[in-house]
Amino acid sequence: MGFREELRAWLEASCPSSMRTPMAAGQEVWGGRRRTFPSEDAKLWFERCVERGYTVPSWPVEYGGAGLSPDDAKIFAEELKRIGARLPLVSFGIWMLGPVLLELASETQKREHLPKIARGEIRWCQGYSEPGAGSDLASLSTRARREGDDYVVDGAKVWTSHADHADWMFCLVRTDADGPKHEGISFLLIDMASPGISVRPIPLISGSSPFCETRFDGVRVPAANLVGREGGGWQIAKRLLEHERTIISVMRDAAPEETETLPQQFLRAGSPAGLRDRVIQAELDFLCNRLTLERNRAAPGVASSMFKLYGTELNKRRKELRVLLAGTGGLEWNTAAKEWLRSRANSIEGGTSEIQLNIIAKRVLGLPD
Amino acid sequence: MSSRFVDSPEQAELARGARAFVERRIPVAALRGVRARPADDRIDRALWRECAQLGWAGILVGEGDGGAGLGMIEAGLVAEQLGRTLAPTPFLSTAIIGGTLVPSPALAGGDQLVALALDETPFFDARASCETIIRDRGVIGAKRNVLDGPAADRVIVRTQDALAIVDARGPGVTITALDRVDSRSVADLRFDRAPVIDTLSLDHLDRAITRATAALAAEMLGGADAVFATTLAYLKERRQFGVPIGSFQALKHRAAQIFCELELTRSIVRAALAALDANAPDAEPLVSAAKARASDTYLLATAEAIQMHGGIGVTDELDIGLYYKRAMAASMLFGDAAYHRDRFARVAGY
């Protein structure tokens, strides 16, 4: 029996029917020590996938994956999509840290951290931005000084999504303040239960948010938690950002179908003539963007920066149109209003649109600094 | 499903060969050459026979009629290369429209040129009412903006009742070649009881126009791509204030934006061509989306090329101006961006 047939049979027997429906916001399973499940079925589906390594199907078996070949991984994705199966587990560990650890971490670190990500036992957050280091991330100043077998960390991180629910943080720290700024950065894994860490949620213009500010006050981190070499963190950080940009664009592409399309909302609103051109342009651009994602999958080459840039700018336009098409009804604190306000951050988080333009200009077009 | 975006080895070879031929045999200098000639003499028939030898004139014509029997993806690949150098050939009029409506060995061999006489106003509208009629086996009416009209042997005339085929050099046909900014071969035509050689049902018209629109979008993509490459090279080489001007964010960000627009255009153009070959139900809106996007991108890339080149950008010595003029003319041909955006929405019911 081929892999596809075998997988189909397993999915038929193992994926509860309620897990084959579009996932509403807040229904995701994020894992972690304090993991919760929106339903019994979600828990069952999660556990069955963990058992087979299907939370991270293409990771090697020894790190908690299913060890699928690229071809089989493609079949896996197709079969899940075919029945509309939900992702059993979502996490920054799977999307961002895991791929980087697989590529760059020591064997001990891989065996320590990857299986816990795969099994949803540890939830990770990302410690990158700081109050004084946003787009100029490499100027970060959270300090880690070596004391015996530990690093002692002092400083603050912002926009650490879900830090209040996370067990561990992958964190960029400055281990050398004297040399060139890119060369004094290290990539450190920090247990959020360590003494000296405090977390404060940050309310946004769209209301409550997963974002937090995280402070470090003399936090001791074992030196064994350094990934790569001391001072070599920037290369790892950039690699991880590529995964982040890709996942942002893929997530947007895979987002559940909107229950009402933009043209449908336009018609329901009584076809306001002044908005028609903007609706058409948004639809057309949406189509072009989707086709470009498809083309890139068939023949990779288009920069992840382009998808980050275009996808987020387009999303802002679409969310704004949703509110405009709702009239004053769009000003009440409903989903459309919140999504509109939240979308303003899309072109800031994960590297601003202006930074993406810099990256395209430099790496794709070869324009000088 | 995703293979619609990947060239087969044969298609890749076709595109490579076409690009090499166009660069060697029909560089932009060829357009400058025909521009220096009278408006009624801007198609080089010997050159078109060479193109026919490569299979381009009969690219859509069945092999039984001496053609290559290929599809719209292949036609688009050739059109894209022709667009890169603004090559003055009757590819759209003869190979695409003629090849669709009146395929023949003479057409495929490059010996017969065909033009479609459609517009009666300065604005393209495939659905517009039509004053031109057939009476007593003769065409009576006036048509504007006929692409390759000055060089055509046969004219396909859209009349109220049918598509009428007439002899362009026969009695009752008056051809007034237009000297336009884009130097393309275009004419206004008058028909005064021009004898009808044959007629075709109006049902065939949409297919021919849709195919030509898709091929034109590919041609425009090629032009936009070529002009952007020129601009990018200039941004790296031109120095002001002691540094390459491409180091300024005010310019590099716009260059990156154009790059993105080109990538999106490439995707939609290819999807439209593939949809036509597959007879996909969404082919019509995809073609409209491709033409709208190609028009916007071509005008953006050429206008920005002028601005980023500064003063020399507006001189006739540089080719950029030729691309800019072509971009405007091509965007109007078979309907501009606004026309196709509207059509895209109408097909979807809003």
pLDDT (0 to 100) of residue A297: 81
- Helix or strand (DSSP H, E) at A53: none
pLDDT (0 to 100) of residue A296: 87
pLDDT exceeds cutoff 60 at B76? yes
User: Chain A contacts of B6, Cβ < 8 Å?
Assistant: 298-299
The bridge status of strand B138-147 relative to strand B186-200 is antiparallel
A244 has catalytic annotation: yes
Query: Which residue on chain B is closest to A307 by alpha carbon?
Result: B260
Burial classification of residue B129, based on how many CB atoms lie within 10 Å of its CB (0-12 exposed, 13-18 middle, 19 or more buried) = exposed
- The band of B133, judged by pLDDT with boundaries at 50, 70 and 90, is very high
CA distance A303 to chain B (A): 10
Per-residue pLDDT tens digits for A141-181:
999 999 999 999 999 999 998 999 999 999 999 999 998 99
Which of the following is catalytic: A244, A257, A313, A332? A244
As a whole number of angstroms, the distance between CA B111 and CA A158 comes to: 71
Give me the mean pLDDT over the B97-111 stretch: 98
- The CA-to-CA distance between both ends of chain A, in Å, stands at 55
The CA-based dihedral angle spanning residues A153, A154, A158, A162, taken in that order and rounded to the nearest 10 degrees: 40
The pair of three-digit structure tokens given for residue A138, joined into one six-digit string = 């490499």
- Helix or strand (DSSP H, E) at A351: none
Query: Which residue on chain A is closest to B344 by alpha carbon?
Result: A280
- The band of B1, judged by pLDDT with boundaries at 50, 70 and 90, is very low
pLDDT exceeds cutoff 90 at A254? no
B194 three-class SS: strand
The bridge status of strand A168-174 relative to strand A124-127 is parallel
Residue in the structure block whose two tokens are 């028909």: B191
Total beta-carbon pairs less than 8 A apart between chain A and chain B: 112
pLDDT (0 to 100) of residue B127: 83
Query: What average pLDDT does chain B have?
Result: 97
pLDDT (0 to 100) of residue A349: 87
CA distance A278 to chain B (A): 10
As a whole number of angstroms, the distance between CA B281 and CA B284 comes to: 8
User: Chain A contacts of B3, Cβ < 8 Å?
Assistant: 298
Per-residue pLDDT tens digits for B34-44:
999 999 999 99
pLDDT (0 to 100) of residue A268: 97
Task: Choose from A284, A304, A353 for mutation: most chain B CBs within 10 A.
Answer: A284
- B6 and A283 within 8 Å at the Cβ level: the answer is no
Hey, how many other C-beta atoms are within 10 angstroms of the C-beta on A149?
9
Burial A24-34 (b: 16+ CB within 10 A, else e): eeeebbbbbee
The beta-carbon neighbor of B256 closest among A279, A283, A361 is A361
Cα angle for residues A71, A57, A289 (degrees, 5° grid): 65
- The band of A251, judged by pLDDT with boundaries at 50, 70 and 90, is low
Query: Which residue on chain B is closest to A279 by alpha carbon?
Result: B345
Give me the mean pLDDT over the B102-122 stretch: 97
pLDDT exceeds cutoff 80 at A250? no
Give me the mean pLDDT over the B55-78 stretch: 98
Per-residue pLDDT tens digits for B288-347:
999 999 999 999 999 999 999 999 999 999 999 999 999 999 999 999 999 999 999 999
User: Chain B contacts of A361, Cβ < 8 Å?
Assistant: 246, 252-253, 255-256
- A298 and B257 within 8 Å at the Cβ level: the answer is no
Quick check: A81 and A15 in contact, CB under 8 A? Answer: no
Cα angle for residues B40, B41, B46 (degrees, 5° grid): 145
Q: What are the C-alpha distances in Å from B58 to residues A169, B7, B45?
A: 64, 21, 15
The pair of three-digit structure tokens given for residue A22, joined into one six-digit string = 């579009």
- A280 and B341 within 8 Å at the Cβ level: the answer is yes
DSSP state of A208: S
Give me the mean pLDDT over the A306-332 stretch: 95
pLDDT (0 to 100) of residue A248: 67
Quick check: A102 and A114 in contact, CB under 8 A? Answer: yes
As a whole number of angstroms, the distance between CA A169 and CA B166 comes to: 77
The pair of three-digit structure tokens given for residue B77, joined into one six-digit string = 């690949």
The beta-carbon neighbor of B263 closest among A281, A302, A354 is A302
The pair of three-digit structure tokens given for residue B291, joined into one six-digit string = 């033409």
DSSP state of A258: P
The pair of three-digit structure tokens given for residue B223, joined into one six-digit string = 């032009």
Total residues found in chain B within this entry: 350
DSSP state of A335: H
As a whole number of angstroms, the distance between CA A289 and CA A317 comes to: 14
Task: Choose from B225, B260, B270, B295 for mutation: most chain A CBs within 10 A.
Answer: B260
CA distance B133 to chain A (A): 36
Rg (CA), chain B: 20
Answer positive or negative: Cα dihedral of A58, A60, A65, A68: positive
Total residues found in chain A within this entry: 369
pLDDT exceeds cutoff 70 at B115? yes
User: Chain A contacts of B341, Cβ < 8 Å?
Assistant: 277, 280-281, 284
Q: Which residues are registered as beta bridge partners of B282?
A: none
pLDDT (0 to 100) of residue A167: 98
Q: How far is Cα of residue A306 from the mean position of the Cα atoms in its chain? A: 17
Give me the helix-helix angle, A304-326 and B249-277, nearest 10°.
80
- A310 and B246 within 8 Å at the Cβ level: the answer is no
User: Chain A contacts of B282, Cβ < 8 Å?
Assistant: none
The pair of three-digit structure tokens given for residue A175, joined into one six-digit string = 């281990």
Going by C-alpha positions, the residue among A113, A241, A115, A112 that lies closest to residue A172 is A241
Give me the mean pLDDT over the B193-217 stretch: 97
Residue in the structure block whose two tokens are 């292949």: B74
Q: How far is Cα of residue A3 from the mean position of the Cα atoms in its chain? A: 29
Burial B130-159 (b: 16+ CB within 10 A, else e): bebebeeebbbbebbbbbbbbbbbbbbbbb
pLDDT exceeds cutoff 50 at B2? no
Q: Which residues are registered as beta bridge partners of B188?
A: B176
Query: Rounded to two decimals, what is the model's pTM?
Result: 0.87
User: Chain B contacts of A295, Cβ < 8 Å?
Assistant: 2, 5, 266-267, 270
The beta-carbon neighbor of B252 closest among A281, A309, A361 is A361
Percent of chain A topping pLDDT 90: 85
Give me the mean pLDDT over the A46-69 stretch: 96
pLDDT (0 to 100) of residue A301: 66
Residue in the structure block whose two tokens are 């299986």: A115
ipTM: 0.93
Query: What average pLDDT does chain A have?
Result: 93
The pair of three-digit structure tokens given for residue B150, joined into one six-digit string = 């000055």
Quick check: B43 and B89 in contact, CB under 8 A? Answer: yes
The CA-based dihedral angle spanning residues B64, B66, B71, B72, taken in that order and rounded to the nearest 10 degrees: -140
Q: Which residues are registered as beta bridge partners of B239?
A: B244
Residue in the structure block whose two tokens are 């032009």: B223
Going by C-alpha positions, the residue among A227, A132, A125, A123 that lies closest to residue A175 is A227
The beta-carbon neighbor of A306 closest among B4, B244, B263 is B263
Q: Which residues are registered as beta bridge partners of A134?
A: none
Residues of B with CB under 8 A from a CB of A: 2-6, 232, 235-236, 243-244, 246-247, 249, 252-253, 255-257, 259-260, 263-268, 270-271, 289, 292-293, 341-342, 344-345, 348-350
Residues of A with CB under 8 A from a CB of B: 263, 266-267, 271, 276-277, 279-281, 283-285, 287-289, 291-292, 294-295, 297-299, 302, 306, 309-310, 354, 356-358, 360-361, 364-369
As a whole number of angstroms, the distance between CA B347 and CA A328 comes to: 30
- B247 and A277 within 8 Å at the Cβ level: the answer is no
As a whole number of angstroms, the distance between CA A159 and CA A126 comes to: 8
The pair of three-digit structure tokens given for residue A5, joined into one six-digit string = 């047939």
